[in-house]
Amino acid sequence: MTRYIGNTDEDREQMLKEIGYPDIDSLFKAVPDSVHLKGKLNIPEALSEMELVKNIKELSNENLNTDDYACFLGAGTYDHYIPATIDQLISRQEFYTAYTPYQPEISQGTLQAIFEYQTMICELTGLPVANASMYDGATAMTEAAIMACEATKRSEILISNTVHPESRQVLNTYAQFRNMTVTEIGYKDGQTDIDDLKSKLNKNTAAVIIQSPNFFGIIEDIGEIVDLAHDNKSLLAVSADPVSLAILKSPGELGVDIAVGEGQSLGNPLNFGGPYLGFMAVTEKLMRKMPGRIVGQTSDSFGNRGFVLTMQTREQHIRREKATSNICSNQALNALQATMYLTFMGKEGLKKVAELCINKSHYAYNELIKTGKFSPVFSAPFFKEFVLKSEIPVNALNDKLLSNKIIGGYDIEKNYPELKNGWLVAVTEKRTKQEIDDLTRKVAE
């Protein structure tokens, strides 16, 4: 919150003079008089600074936050540790005010930041080309589906029922207006049902889309699905948790064609659900079908290292019929946060985060089952989330936990009615042993 803006009356007069207006009213003369507000706004009278700060703090205290509550809620957005250096650096004016490189080659700092981000996404995913400016994980996955249809000249997408429900909703919305058919594949023991996939693959299948770790937190058997998709001359797109890629085989190593995902886990706070960023990486064969922006490295006439906007195939820059997408915003600030996070954590730091997620989530899983209040739902391996069946309705369970300053897991029955009283619990590296033990003690009570 900015508490002080240092514009004096003389400053305002000088600014108006520079743009050729004698006063503020004349600045807005283009606005019809009929829509001008004639009276005062229906808001309280002005407060002193001390009164205002106190009032705002009282209002903010009505929100629950992960500083005061232990959070075991995931389902696509996760409470990971964010180094203090990120908040300090991201607020620098040159980062915070940079929106999008409309004159790209003179925006060398912005281009370099995007280039470094792309390079790190390539290293994480094991694929040679990454882009920038994807809105979030859901739309990144949808853009992957559109790209697959364009590349294969086919129109059907097979998507696993274990993919995040909201991502599937976004894909279905886009598909209505893109002449795409979306067919869902069922699951067995929390993983994509291979037999169902085999029965639904056909000559019109452009791509198979799975998520790993999936919405249940379970790691999919990507290798077998890659072979099935490629034997059908279809592409395989995988939505991945970027933290998991520090210890799991990368999509590129497994032969995946398109890797996408939600980048919130990489140094971006929960932010009430956004803004976030999506990431995307592809094989070289698909590079020219990618939406968004691709920044490249070059040398200038003096031999100095420089950066260029290599590709930007969106409607604002080329003919509409040639555009790969109508992406028109830029998630560069969020991508920069992800770049800072990956830089500060390094390979070993990110690997340690992933290991802590696995160890702590498995500890919580076993301890919760020991209470006798829960039973396992799936037996397949999981990363940092798992599903348990609760003896009591999940809403009642979460309400009780909330009164004890614990944010409980997700009620998965809302999306999967067959999983009655299913509780999706997320455990990141931030959760301490004491917090996990408190959780199990409270549910045992």
Same fold flag, 70-82+348-444 and 85-340: no
**What tens digit of pLDDT does each residue of 344-398 get?**
999 999 999 999 999 999 999 999 999 999 999 999 999 999 999 999 999 999 9
Query: Is residue 190 classed exposed, middle or buried when 0-12, 13-18 and 19+ CB atoms within 10 A define those classes?
Result: buried
The pTM assigned to this predicted structure is: 0.88
Is 3.40.640.10 the CATH number for 85-340? yes
Non-local (6+) Cβ contacts of 127 within 8 A are 250, 251, 252, 256, 259, 281, 282, 283
Homologous superfamily of the 70-82+348-444 domain (CATH): Aspartate Aminotransferase, domain 1 (3.90.1150.10)
Token pair of 314, please? Answer: 């969106």
**What tens digit of pLDDT does each residue of 129-155 get?**
999 989 999 999 999 999 999 999 999
Contact 174, 182 (CB under 8 A): no
Token pair of 366, please? Answer: 């076993």
Domain residue extents for the chain:
70-82+348-444, 85-340
Residue 317: pLDDT band (50, 70, 90) is low
* Structure-derived torsion over alpha carbons of residues 105, 108, 114, 115, reported in degrees to the nearest 10: 90
